[in-house]
Amino acid sequence: MASIGFIGLGIMGGRIAKRLMDAGHKVTGYNRTKSKAEWLIQAGMQWADSPYDAARACDLIFSMVTGTEALNAITSGPQGLIAGLKPGQIYIDMSTVSPTASREVARQVAQKGAHMLDAPVSGSVSTLEAGRLSIMVAGERPVYEQVLPVLRAIGPTVTYIGENGLAVSMKIALNISLAAQMLAFSEGVLLAEKSGIARETAVEVMLNSAIASPMLKYRGPFVLQQPEEAWFNARMMQKDLDLALEMGRQLNVPLPTTAVAGEFLTAARAMGLADRDFAILFDVLAKKAEPS
């Protein structure tokens, strides 16, 4: 059993930390807003007052934060986790961030004599709770093999991608399809509804058809009723699409469906829907379909 530090205890990070606790690991956690971590503290998680303290207290450090800016905030400075790292320690970042920024953090970690892996996940709250989360990992292969048993306590499918930064590149490439699928699904449901078919019936038929991907099966019903707490909100999805568009420009890869989905997420933000699950794309389309 490992002594684990976990930084970033949001809707996914908190549940991953709890899964590690349930597997018997001792977890010390830090979150910018402590109140969001109270349920974990009550379940037996130790609290750290800073990322530095979490790194000093543990053998293995995880983080899962909202983006590149948040990653820099938790890793840098005298209270950052890099300052707290010891030689030989392993740091695993599960955030979806700029691959360039991830590689820079890995370089700074290596200067401390420690090791970093980028290990973003594919899945949702329901996937995680069902024990079906998929994890992509990049960094030194011997380090990956050392922590593989711990990663498998989080999700059963763990894939080694290559050198630092390639796992977050893979995650960004993957997330393009989430937004594109949700937008196409919403178009189909709205078209059926406008033709006279009940929305519930359209959703049922589409989720039992050839188009029903795993993501649509758990997120498709959100066009009928949004969850009280967004599993992955419109703002975060647009952040990932922006990362993809940046990569596309750097690598000369045209990303037309990514750009279109991003524009509809811009519309969602303009409508005050940024904090709703990105399935809110349906509502944006429906609004645009109303008579002027």
- Annotated catalytic, 171? yes
Torsion of CA 87, 121, 138, 33, to 10 degrees: -30
- Distance, in Å, from the CA atom of 99 to the CA atom of 247, rounded to the nearest integer, reads 9
* Number of neighbours of residue 6 by Cβ within 10 angstroms: 31
Is 142 buried (19+), middle (13-18) or exposed (0-12) by CB count in 10 A? exposed
Going by the DSSP 8-state scheme, the letter that residue 35 receives in this structure is: G
- Distance, in Å, from the CA atom of 71 to the CA atom of 76, rounded to the nearest integer, reads 8
Q: Which residues contact 134 (CB under 8 A, 6 or more apart)?
A: 121, 122, 123, 127, 155, 157, 158, 159
Catalytically annotated residue among 36, 171, 194, 239? 171
Going by the DSSP 8-state scheme, the letter that residue 76 receives in this structure is: S
Q: What are phi and psi of 111, to 5 degrees?
A: -65, -25
Q: Pairing between strand 121-122 and 90-93?
A: unpaired
For the chain, first and last CA: distance in Å? Answer: 61
- Distance, in Å, from the CA atom of 19 to the CA atom of 28, rounded to the nearest integer, reads 13
- Distance, in Å, from the CA atom of 166 to the CA atom of 160, rounded to the nearest integer, reads 10
Give Rg (Cα) of the chain. Answer: 20
Among the residues of 65-165, which ranges form H helices? 68-75, 81-84, 99-111, 125-129, 141-154
The catalytic residues are 171
